[in-house]
Amino acid sequence: MSETNPAAAEVAAPHRYTAAVAAEIEARWQDVWDADGTYAAPNPKGDLAGDPGLVAKPKKYVMDMFPYPSGAGLHVGHPLGYIATDVFARFQRMTGHNVLHTLGFDAFGLPAEQHAVQTGEHPRVTTEAAINNMKSQLRRLGLGHDKRRSFATIDPEYYKWTQWIFVQIFNSWYDDEAKKARPISELVARFESGERAVPGGRSWDALSAAERADILGEYRLAYASDAPVNWCPGLGTVLANEEVTADGRSERGNFPVFKAKLRQWNMRITAYADRLLDDLNELDWPEAIKLQQRNWIGRSEGARVDFPIDGEAITVFTTRQDTLFGATYMVLAPEHPLVEKFTPAAWPEGTHDVWTGGHATPGEAVAAYRAQAASKSDVERQAEAKDKTGVFTGAFATNPVNGEQIPVFIADYVLMGYGTGAIMAVPAHDTRDFAFARAFELPIRCVVEPSDDRGTDASTWDDAFASYDAKIVNSHGEDVSLDGLGVVDAKARITEWLQRKGIGEGTVNFRLRDWLFSRQRYWGEPFPIVYDEDGIAHSLPESMLPLELPEVEDYSPRTFDPDDADTSPETPLSRNQDWVDVTLDLGDGRGPRPYRRETNTMPNWAGSCWYELRYLDPHNSEKLVDPEIEQYWMGPRAGQPHGGVDLYVGGAEHAVLHLLYARFWSKVLYDLGHISSPEPFHKLYNQGMIQAFVYRDSRGFPVPAAEIEERDGAFFHNGEQVKRELGKMGKSLKNAVTPETICEEYGADTLRLYEMAMGPLDVSRPWDTRAVVGQYRLLQRLWRNVVDEATGEVTVVDAEPDETTLRALHKAIDGVRQDLEGLRFNTAIAKVTELNNHLTKAGAAVSRPVAESLVLLIAPLAPHIAEELWRKLGHPDSVVHQDFPVADPRYVVDESVTCVVQVKGKVKARLEVSPAISDDELEKVALADEKVVAALDGAGIRKVIVRAPKLVNIVPA
Ligand code: ANZ
């Protein structure tokens, strides 16, 4: 066919749909859409108010996880989700919704800062250049974004509100009784009035300002504390646990990471653990993501138990209080504050050599072990497989159930930050304890009867027996016995006993930690916090926001000798004296005073914690969002009791942190009355990844994928055979394909169709440039069904379509509608293709209503060609806001099928029914049939077996 030879084709068919035609059409309509504000979604009020008719429609808020504007620009893998949400948003517009869809930029971050460190160029300059580049790349795809609503998190008018939210969080506390955040001023009032006892027992009036600040710091939802953090001298910064590798080094740069105590800002997200867990149930999210959040929050039910020691007690947290009789030793985290207190001056008589670690005194042993533990990350300390290390403290505590004296160890597998930082060790039933007991020759006592054949003599076992589904044995004391009980009952009985004795209680513990919120960086939001001469932190009043980033000479934090743990961070902002030391009147009645600014910046996550709210009301200078506008777009409604964005699409890699942080901020803002929706995202959808083939030469180095030749299933580069594997797409693997390349070769509509047709949206799929042409051909045939390639004239006729065409059309309409609503874009495209092929095969001129419906069907997927054809068909208004076709049910069902109805095994009737009929409906129809009624002759019915659509078998009583 001439299609394979474009030059010849152009002569024969000057009006064929080609890449050049696509390019012209696409650029032209993009300009018109921009000029007409086609995608502007009106608000119910404010400066984006508009078309009351549109506002009266049901709303749809469709959102993408916004991109980081990387200098490398986009490759074809990036826009997969953006195209998907665009198709969905367009479909919603055509089905009567006021649709909000826009895209901003998550623009603070390390790459721009590192570039700045290397080149001295301001990160704002490179970031803005990257944003502009991405914007033009995205514009070319024809995404229907409301551009009036776009922003970047680095815009001072945006981060003014990020800072403002920080101030709200700082100035609030979590009221455990009301189970919500309240202004800190209410807590102060309760302390002042005596309604609530002041911790420490003194009266509020008697406390100094610093003492009050310390107390309030224990309550504030944003608080500074001396927390053990991952300090990386080589990078000059503190790292989150996720940024530290399993062997205790920085993910980036591979430098040693040390545990150090530093004054850092934290967010008290743990106060919300229960609500973050419970509210997951109301969200329409993939189960896998909900599960990851549940695990991250990690709720465990257990007990706290006191083990007496020297007239005091060590409190442990355990989830297996039913195994108390099997506790043969205790372990404290090396950092546990009670360690020094109970460590005796000398080893007790007869202390086992392996317990002392070769040290002369317990004090020495503890000090040496602590130093060793401090150099490891939590992840490393928790690693299951590794050998258990530790040292005896020289002290013994009493097991409260049987009065036994058991040795107290310190070991790094117990973490200070979890539970109480102390455990009772039950080696028979916990694998870590088992390994430790073996290494330190400690008794292993079976108290849960193994369900396998290993027997109850635990000294002969190879590993622990850890099960909840078994019976308790060897567990009776003076006034309590658990023998014979199942685990669950034993837990209940012993908890009740502990509580009665006043030596323990049932508790719930969470794995979730407070969120470390400071970074020693330049390119982030400055904290709206200043310290007075007493070192007390004050938040800036709203009138002083935004607090803009100062210009600095040097963007890097000071770095140190990577191995020198005795260093502490020196941030880029701290070197700027004029900015740091200021005299301010905070409006708190204290008048102008000298202050020192906080010199850390917020972490990258901050800006993405609330951006869904700002899209709603992006220019509001009085409020972060007007309540009425927030209520309109996001407020709770039927089926969405916690409100939120109607559809949020992004990668599954953000399962935990971003989504958890954003949920947390929403809940605080909700509690404080600023928004009506306690959840930010009602429906979440994770798109798959576009993968790409990587070609490697004999040395294993990637070679440019674009230069590969394929011969008989083998791959060659410059004549040399290379290996092919599936991997990520990107510059470093030399396999990136840019959207521009595809747009130039085929047009943006083809690219959109190809990305949507590659497979189900949530599945990963390999990119194959050679397959793109398939969608190009579809668009060419579509064009040819409407436009004469030789003359450019519209060829449709006003004749009525024939019956088969009507059936093909309405089935397509019905299927495409359902598919687009259900985000099944690949099958929607298959249905459009089928209809289009039907018309092509029919060979005759297409009837106008069919052609128009076809154009409307493809409009969400390929908006430019649809707009062009729609106008060519004589419509003055844009295709974007047309009504999506509705199927006529008469043509949707296939011709009927015959259903046989049997009574007592004999055929009594034959019914003509729809092939799509349900079992229930078919049963009703069959039982109502005259012949069946006659055959039953008033007998009752014992059983009806239905195999829709072909068989009903009735067994009379
Ligand atoms: C005795 C016991 C017996 C335990 C047994 C387990 C099995 P989850 O479920 O993850 O909450 N643990 C408590 N605090 C710890 C800490 N700071 N560092 C390390 N481990 C700690 O885990 C709770 C269990 O982990 C607790 O229950 C405790 O060991 C341990 F057959 O106590 B268990």
Rounded CA gap, 773 and 742, in Å? 10
Q: From 301, 315, 320, give the residue whose CB has the most ligand 1 atoms within 8 Å, as the site to mutate.
A: 320
Please state, in angstroms and rounded to a whole number, the distance separating the CA atoms of residues 445 and 448. Answer: 9
Identity at 688, one-letter amino acid code: G
Q: Which atom of ligand 1 is nearest to the CA of 327?
A: 1
Could you tell me the CA-to-CA distances from 144 to 102, 659, 739, 762 in Å, in that order?
Answer: 8, 25, 17, 22
Taking CA atoms only, the protein residue closest to ligand 1 atom 32 is: 318
For the beta sheet containing 299-309, the strands, ordered from the edge strand earlier in sequence to the opposite edge, are 312-318, 299-309, 504-510
Alpha carbon of 409 to ligand 1 centroid (Å): 15
Our answer on whether the CB atom of 430 is closer than 6 Å to any ligand 1 atom is yes
Pocket test for ligand 1, best of 300, 315, 318 (most atoms within 8 A of CB): 318
Ligand 1 pocket check for 412: Cβ under 6 Å: no
Index of the ligand 1 atom closest to the CA of residue 426: 3
| 427 in Cβ contact with 391 (< 8 Å) | no
Cβ–ligand 1 contact at 509 (below 6 Å)? yes
Beta strand pairing call for 299-309 and 702-703: unpaired
Q: What tokens does 620 get?
A: 């509001």
The three state secondary structure string of 862-920 is CHHHHHHHHHHCCCCCCHHHCCCCCCCHHHHCCCCEEEEEEECCEEEEEEEECCCCCHH
SS3 for 330-387 is: EEECCCCCCHHHHCCCCCCCCCCHHHHCCCCCHHHHHHHHHHHHHCCCHHHHHCCCCC
Q: Ligand 1 center to residue 449 CA distance, Å? A: 19
Distances (CA, A) of 230 to 246, 267, 693, 795: 13, 17, 38, 70
Of ligand 1's listed atoms, the one at least distance from the Cα of 413 is: 19
Decide: 419 in ligand 1 pocket, CB within 6 A. Answer: yes
Backbone angles phi, psi at 519, to 5 degrees: -130, 145
Q: Give nearest CA residue, ligand 1 atom 14.
A: 419
Residue 499 alpha carbon to ligand 1 centre in Å: 20
Is 603's C-beta closer than 6 angstroms to any atom of ligand 1?
no
Q: Ligand 1: which residue has its CA nearest to atom 10?
A: 300
Residue 277 in tokens: 């867990």
Cβ 319 under 6 angstroms from ligand 1: yes
* Closest residue to atom 29 of ligand 1, CA basis: 318
Classify domain 299-510 at the CATH topology level: Isoleucyl-tRNA Synthetase; domain 2 (3.90.740)
- Sequence-separated (6 or more) residues with CB below 8 Å from residue 865: 17, 22, 25, 747, 749, 779, 782, 783, 858
- Domain ranges for the chain, please list them: 299-510, 894-956
Whole-number pLDDT of residue 384: 56
* Closest atom, ligand 1, to C-alpha of 421: 17
Compute, in angstroms, the gap from residue 496 CA to the centroid of ligand 1. 20
For the CA of 466, the nearest atom of ligand 1: 31
Q: Does the beta carbon of 418 lie inside 6 Å of ligand 1?
A: yes
Give the CA distances from residue 819 to residues 813, 814, 831, in Å, rounded to whole numbers and listed in that order. Answer: 10, 9, 9
End-to-end CA distance of the chain: 68
Q: What is the pLDDT of residue 8?
A: 63
Asked if residue 429 has its Cβ within 6 Å of ligand 1, the reply is yes
CA dihedral (522, 526, 529, 532) in degrees, to 10, reads: 40
- 227 C-alpha to ligand 1 centroid (Å): 22
> What is the C-alpha separation between 347 and 295, in angstroms, rounded?
42
CATH number among 3.90.1150.200, 3.40.50.1820, 3.90.1330.10, 3.10.20.590, domain 894-956: 3.10.20.590
Q: By alpha-carbon position, which residue is closest to atom 7 of ligand 1?
A: 430
Per DSSP, 171 falls in state T
CB 607 within 8 A of CB 158: yes
Q: β-strand 529-531 against 709-711: which pairing, if any?
A: unpaired
For the chain (957 residues), the mean pLDDT of every run of 10, in chain order, is 55 89 98 98 95 94 96 93 98 98 95 87 95 96 98 98 98 97 98 95 95 97 89 87 83 89 92 97 96 95 96 96 98 95 95 94 96 75 74 97 97 91 97 95 96 93 93 94 95 96 94 90 96 97 97 88 90 92 96 97 95 98 97 97 98 91 98 98 96 94 93 94 93 92 97 97 92 97 97 95 94 97 98 97 94 98 98 98 96 85 94 90 94 91 94 94
Write phi, then psi, for 813 (nearest 5 degrees): -60, -50
Antiparallel, parallel or unpaired: β 537-539 and 529-531: antiparallel
In this structure, which residue's CA is closest to atom 2 in ligand 1? 320
Classified as helix, coil or strand, 651 is coil
465 lines ligand 1 (CB under 6 A): no
Q: Considering the entire predicted model, what is its pTM?
A: 0.84
| Helices 739-746 and 19-36, axial angle in degrees (round to 10) | 110
Nearest in space to 535 (alpha carbons), one of 807, 241, 278, 214: 214
- Please answer whether residues 167 and 542 qualify as being in contact, where contact means their C-beta atoms are separated by less than 8 angstroms: yes
Ligand 1 pocket member 512 (CB < 6 A): no
Q: What local confidence, expressed as pLDDT, does residue 507 receive?
A: 94
H or E segment at 684? strand 684-686
Query: Which atom belonging to ligand 1 lies closest to the Cα atom of 321?
Result: 1
d(CA 455, ligand 1 centre) in Å: 24
624, two tokens: 């972060």
Q: Where are the beta strands (DSSP E) in 5-53?
A: none
What's at 189, amino acid-wise? A
CB of 300 sitting under 6 A from ligand 1? yes
Task: Give the Cα separation of 794 and 781 in Å (integer).
Answer: 14
Q: Compute the distance between CA of residue 687 and CA of residue 208 in angstroms, rounded to an integer.
A: 55
Under DSSP, the state recorded for 821 is H
CA atoms within 13 A on the CB side of 11: 4
Query: Tokens 């023998």 belong to which residue?
Result: 483
Q: How far from chain centre, in Å, is Cα 390? A: 38
CA of 660 to the centre of ligand 1 (A): 25
CA distance 813 to 825: 14
